[in-house]
Structure formats: structure tokens, C-alpha cells
């Protein structure tokens, strides 16, 4: 969404006129199929790499370093993460404006709404969690202060899209990106309650795997009790488990992503009880350096009188 927030080798972006023009072509194709599409606003924070940025630095809630994983630099070379610089209090209006400007571009490109990526150890999550937020100003310490950055982002986005066209994605249980804080249960329950004030389109809750042992696991049902609105469960669901969690009332809908990689016609497969391909190997959707094979080379299901046949794209 911005040069400051970019940092995943080969990732798509939306912060130039060229990006906007290409996204408009894609959005038009989606709309031609009668489908809605939201843009996810993603700032990587300390999970970026300095080589992507003219300033040769990455920013975060505090001057911390993600240790225990590797990334790729701007040349595609595997390397360690580096220590981030803590954003100054004076920089927050500028960073929040980056989110708003990206939302403006998204609206011009025809997107139906936007989703704030507040999960998986990226910038918003780095502010929410005490393991990465060591600040003593108004953006650190208390639950209210650690939530403040996300709240300011949502308020800014509401000047571009109505609240009913804005979603937020959170992962209170995740360990990805070096996350997992002892007070996550209380922190994210507070965030769910505060987000209810905005009348958002939905809250997306990542609850499928990678649980932290630092705090009690928050279930999607916990989110549903605290957030007064539509709750989307997400991560590692099958058709059966998705239908189960919806029938139970713990969630209103379930999002799928990885299954769409290996099943570009996933909706039709569910609707017609056709076989579903397994999720592709992790490396194919995780590391863009592996290329297209195994990522966008799956075909559509074509039923025949003799059984299953895969129709190539």
C-alpha cells in the first residue's frame, strides 16, 4: 500500500498510477463475473527488509527485530530480518495518511471496499501486541493506547469508504512473525469491543493454526461475543468445518484463500459436491521465487462420464 510498507519479494502493490491502472483491469474482470472485491491494506513493518526502501530502514512500533525467520531482500536473496526503527509520535499522521491514500486509489480502481491487515505480525499487529510494542507514549502500554493506531486507521478510511465497506483482519492467537503476548486474550477482546463502535463490514478472525502458548486461545466464538457485527472465520477450514462453525452460530461466514489456489473453481466444487484438490505445498504460495508452477497452474474440474478430469487453464 506504500513504499514504506512494502517488503515481500514479488508481492503486488498499490501506490503508483501504474499499479492503479493494472488493478482497475483486474477489478473490472471480477465485476464482470458479478463478484465483489476488497483490497487488503498491508504494511509489513519490521517484517520488511531495508533493501526495499530508499531510507534503507524498516519501521515498527518499537526498535525490535524479528529473530527466528528469514526473508528475501529486494534482489530476491534469502537473508535475515533486520532491526526496525521505532516510529516517532510525530510520524503517525503521515503513516495513517498512507492507508487513506491507498484506499483512495483502491476506490478509483473500482474496489468495493478495503480490509485492514492487522494480523500475522505485520505493522498493526506489532502495535497491538506487547511482545513488540514497548512504547511509553500514547501508542503504547495500555490496551487503549496499543489499539489507538488501528482506530486512527479505521477513522481515516471512513473518509473514503463507508464503514460498511471496511473490514479488519486480526490474528490474536498467531505466532507468525515472532508474535504471541501474555495479555493477548484481554488485548484483543478489548479491540473486538472497540471495533464494534465503527459499524464495519466484518471482522476477519484467523483461528486455524499456529497457536501461541503465551495466552489462552481466543476462539472465533469469543470474537463473535465481543464484536457486534459480522464475524468471518478463516484459516484451515474445510467445507464441512466451515458449515459447522456457521451452523453453530460461532461465525457468520468463513473465508477461504489457499484452497482457491489449488481450486480456482472452489465455489462450483462446493456447490456441486465435486472433489477438492488439497492445499498446495507451502513453498508454492509462500515464496514467489518459486515462480508460477504450482501456484497458478491448477485447472478447473470437468466432470466426465468416466470420472474426474482436470481442465487446464
Residues 193, 198, 202, 208, CA torsion sign: negative
How far apart CA 154 and CA 160 sit, in angstroms, is 10
Long-range contacts of 64-67 (CB under 8 A, 24+ apart): 64/126, 64/132, 64/134, 66/121, 66/177, 66/178, 67/178
Give the three-state DSSP class for 32.
Answer: helix
- Indicate the angle between helix axes 92-108 and 17-32, nearest 10 degrees: 50
Query: pLDDT at position 163, please?
Result: 99
Query: pLDDT at position 42, please?
Result: 96
Query: pLDDT at position 255, please?
Result: 96
Q: For the chain, how are helix, strand and coil distributed in percent, rounded to 5?
A: 35, 15, 45
Strand partners of residue 221: none
* Residue-by-residue pLDDT tens, the chain, 313 positions: 899 999 888 889 999 999 999 999 999 999 999 999 999 999 999 999 999 999 999 999 999 999 988 999 999 899 999 999 999 999 999 999 999 999 999 999 999 999 999 999 999 999 999 999 999 999 999 999 999 999 999 999 999 999 999 999 999 988 888 898 989 999 999 999 999 999 999 999 998 655 667 767 888 999 999 999 999 999 889 999 999 999 999 999 999 999 998 999 999 999 999 999 998 887 777 777 677 776 778 889 988 766 555 555 5
> What are the E-state strand segments in the chain?
38-41, 59-60, 70-72, 78-80, 85-86, 113-118, 166-170, 202-206, 231-234, 253-255, 300-304, 307-311
How far apart CA 213 and CA 215 sit, in angstroms, is 6
How far apart CA 118 and CA 184 sit, in angstroms, is 14
**Cβ neighbours of 287 (radius 10 Å):** 16
Tell me which of 9, 66, 99, 122 is the catalytic residue: 122
Query: In the structure grid, which three cell numbers stand for residue 64, read together?
Result: 525490535
15 flagged as catalytic: no
How far apart CA 128 and CA 231 sit, in angstroms, is 19
How far apart CA 41 and CA 2 sit, in angstroms, is 9
- Whether residue 30 contacts residue 80, with contact meaning beta carbons closer than 8 Å, is answered with no
- Please provide residue 211's backbone torsions phi and psi, each rounded to the nearest 5 degrees: -75, 140
How far apart CA 153 and CA 80 sit, in angstroms, is 29
Distances (CA, A) of 16 to 19, 100, 111: 5, 14, 16
Query: In the structure grid, which three cell numbers stand for residue 94, read together?
Result: 503521515
Look up cell 469491543; give the residue. Answer: 193
Query: pLDDT at position 130, please?
Result: 95
- Whether residue 301 contacts residue 307, with contact meaning beta carbons closer than 8 Å, is answered with no
Query: pLDDT at position 216, please?
Result: 75
Give the three-state DSSP class for 150.
Answer: helix
Query: pLDDT at position 305, please?
Result: 65
* Helices assigned H by DSSP within the chain: 17-32, 92-108, 123-128, 143-157, 184-195, 220-226, 239-247, 258-262, 266-272, 282-286
Query: What domains lie within the chain, and their CATH numbers?
Result: 17-255 (3.20.20.70)
Global pTM?
0.93
Query: pLDDT at position 308, please?
Result: 53
Amino acid at each position: 500500500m506504500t513504499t514504506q510498507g512494502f517488503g515481500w519479494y514479488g508481492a503486488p502493490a498499490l501506490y503508483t498510477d501504474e499499479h492503479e491502472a493494472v488493478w482497475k483491469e483486474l477489478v473490472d474482470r471480477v465485476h464482470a463475473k458479478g463478484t465483489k472485491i476488497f483490497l487488503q491494506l498491508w504494511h509489513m513493518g519490521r517484517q520488511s527488509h531495508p533493501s526495499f526502501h530508499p531510507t534503507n530502514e524498516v519501521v515498527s512500533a518499537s526498535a525490535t527485530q524479528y529473530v527466528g525467520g528469514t526473508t528475501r531482500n529486494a534482489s530476491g536473496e534469502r537473508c535475515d530480518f533486520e532491526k526496525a526503527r521505532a516510529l516517532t509520535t510525530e510520524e503517525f499522521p503521515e503513516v495513517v495518511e498512507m492507508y487513506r491514500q491507498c484506499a483512495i486509489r483502491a476506490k478509483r480502481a473500482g474496489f468495493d471496499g478495503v480490509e485492514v491487515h492487522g494480523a500475522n505480525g505485520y505493522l498493526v499487529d506489532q502495535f497491538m501486541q506487547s511482545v513488540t510494542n514497548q512504547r511509553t507514549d500514547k501508542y503504547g502500554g495500555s490496551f487503549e493506547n496499543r489499539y489507538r493506531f488501528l482506530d486512527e486507521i479505521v477513522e481515516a478510511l471512513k473518509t473514503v469508504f463507508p464503514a460498511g465497506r471496511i473490514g479488519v483482519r486480526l490474528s490474536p492467537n498467531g505466532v507468525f512473525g515472532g508474535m504471541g503476548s501474555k495479555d493477548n486474550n484481554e488485548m484483543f477482546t478489548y479491540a473486538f469491543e472497540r471495533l464494534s463502535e465503527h459499524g464495519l463490514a466484518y471482522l476477519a478472525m484467523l483461528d486455524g493454526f499456529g497457536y501461541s502458548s503465551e495466552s489462552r486461545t481466543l476462539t472465533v466464538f469469543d470474537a463473535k461475543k465481543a464484536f457486534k457485527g459480522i464475524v468471518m472465520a478463516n484459516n484451515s477450514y474445510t467445507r464441512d468445518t466451515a458449515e459447522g462453525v456457521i451452523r453453530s452460530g460461532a461465525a457468520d461466514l468463513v473465508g477461504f484463500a489457499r484452497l482457491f489456489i489449488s481450486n480456482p473453481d472452489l465455489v462450483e466444487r462446493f456447490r456441486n459436491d465435486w472433489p477438492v484438490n488439497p492445499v498446495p505445498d507451502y513453498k508454492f504460495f509462500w515464496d514467489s521465487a518459486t515462480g508460477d508452477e504450482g501456484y497458478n497452474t491448477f485447472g478447473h474440474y470437468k466432470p466426465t462420464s468416466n470420472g474426474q478430469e482436470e481442465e487446464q487453464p
